[in-house]
Amino acid sequence: MFEDLNLLYYKKLLKPLLNSIEKLQNITPSINEDKKSITNHGLFVMANAYYEAALSDSLRYYFECFPKKLNFSNLSFSKEITSFSQSNLSFAKQDVFDDDLIQLEIDKKLSSLFFDKFENYIHNYLSIMGIENEIDISFDIDYLIEIKETRNLLMHNNLIVNTIYLDKVKSIKRANKIGDTLIIDRKYIIESIERMIDNLHKIETSLSTKYNDYKRLRILRTIWSYLFSSPVMPFDDFWETNADTDSIIQLKDSKYESHISNSEKMLLDVWRSHYTGNPKRLENFCIYSLDGRNQKKLLYFLSILDKIDLECH
């Protein structure tokens, strides 16, 4: 069944991390020497947002590819949100009318992850991604917690230290008593950005190692096998590929093409028309000529076209 198909493409998984790393690197030249600069404060908040987006966006893509991972029963959530987070599906009555229940569920699960303690969030992220045993970020966590709590003080308490900061920050406290005022100077922002970049690099490297075999051609072959089970329709009889570039070079006409069924011909025309960008291949298209099984295949194929990169020419 289509729900068991794996559409993960490793470059798309890594893209949010690499994009945020680039954005974080681009912040540094704009930081000035003024310790009270509103611009610096804004850049510091932006840096935090880029870091959080890297994790959230990569996790969203992962859930889209592995929706069964939305079951959080084995993760280490705080007690106050355990009952919500460990539920399998949590659609409200009004959600039934939404056009994408999976995206709704992903939104809810991402929210429940994000609002847990930061160290739980990171460890749960690594666990969901399957790299918790391949990466050691214990050195990073205390620094990242302090950065996050400094951002919170900047946004909500004018950088004046409160009990929340003292309770949450561990070994890297920049103040030891309530009422102290933290400073966000150029040196601190640059060091914070370097910490974030280093952490994202570690995660990106681990994900790249684990999922490097999840390439585009693997996805296309998987989808092809789902659409076409006929022994006269092997993928390589219809497509010329380049493993080095992980791409289809051009389509081919199979010598057995005259032997395929009308349903297979229609599905093939849909694939080829989207690959070439040529709608003329669909002039005789009619979904009613497909039986129920092939209609489901076609509708599923159309629903994932924006995710699988057919590489139109």
Cβ atoms within 10 Å of 203's Cβ, excluding its own:
22
Residue 46 in this model has a pLDDT that exceeds 70: yes
Give residue 35's pLDDT.
Answer: 82
Helix (H, G, I), strand (E, B) or coil at 295: helix
Contact 27, 43 (CB under 8 A): yes
Query: Which of 189, 211, 233 represents a domain boundary (last residue)?
Result: 211
Residue ranges of E strands in 246-285: 247-251
The band of 279, judged by pLDDT with boundaries at 50, 70 and 90, is: confident
Residue 313 in this model has a pLDDT that exceeds 50: no
Give residue 281's pLDDT.
Answer: 80
Contact 230, 264 (CB under 8 A): yes
Share of the chain above pLDDT 70, in %: 89
Give residue 172's pLDDT.
Answer: 92
In Å, how far are 78, 261, 268 from 58, measured between CA atoms? 23, 40, 32
Q: Which DSSP state fits 3?
A: G
State whether 58 and 131 are in the same domain: yes
Query: Which of 190, 211, 232 represents a domain boundary (last residue)?
Result: 211
Look at residue 313 and tell me if it is in a domain: no
State whether 141 and 26 are in the same domain: yes
User: Tokens standing for 237?
Assistant: 């009889």
State whether 145 and 274 are in the same domain: no
Look at residue 200 and tell me if it is in a domain: yes
Parent domain of 123: 2-211
Gap between the Cα atoms of 175 and 235, Å rounded: 63
Phi, psi of 225 (to 5 degrees): -65, -35
State whether 31 and 171 are in the same domain: yes
State whether 170 and 227 are in the same domain: no
State whether 32 and 112 are in the same domain: yes
Total domains, the chain: 2
Query: What's the whole-number mean pLDDT along residues 122-148?
Result: 94
Query: Which of 211, 236, 254 represents a domain boundary (last residue)?
Result: 211
Share of the chain above pLDDT 90, in %: 70
Which of 201-210, 231-240, 298-307 is the least confident region? 298-307
Q: Please report, in angstroms and rounded to a whole number, the separation of the first and last CA atoms in the chain.
A: 30
Phi, psi of 9 (to 5 degrees): -115, 120
List CB contacts of 212: < 8 A, sequence separation 6 or more: 10
Q: pLDDT digit string (tens) for 58-97?
A: 999 999 998 888 876 666 655 544 444 444 445 454 444 4
User: Tokens standing for 268?
Assistant: 């093939």
Query: What's the whole-number mean pLDDT along residues 205-216?
Result: 96
Look at residue 300 and tell me if it is in a domain: yes
State whether 206 and 142 are in the same domain: yes
Look at residue 260 and tell me if it is in a domain: yes
Look at residue 54 and tell me if it is in a domain: yes
Look at residue 74 and tell me if it is in a domain: yes
Helix (H, G, I), strand (E, B) or coil at 242: strand
State whether 33 and 90 are in the same domain: yes
State whether 156 and 52 are in the same domain: yes
State whether 200 and 81 are in the same domain: yes
Give residue 75's pLDDT.
Answer: 67
State whether 78 and 198 are in the same domain: yes
Give residue 101's pLDDT.
Answer: 75
State whether 156 and 277 are in the same domain: no
Give residue 284's pLDDT.
Answer: 80
Q: Which residue has the higher pLDDT, 129 or 99?
A: 129
Gap between the Cα atoms of 271 and 25, Å rounded: 40
Q: Which DSSP state fits 88?
A: S
Give residue 4's pLDDT.
Answer: 62
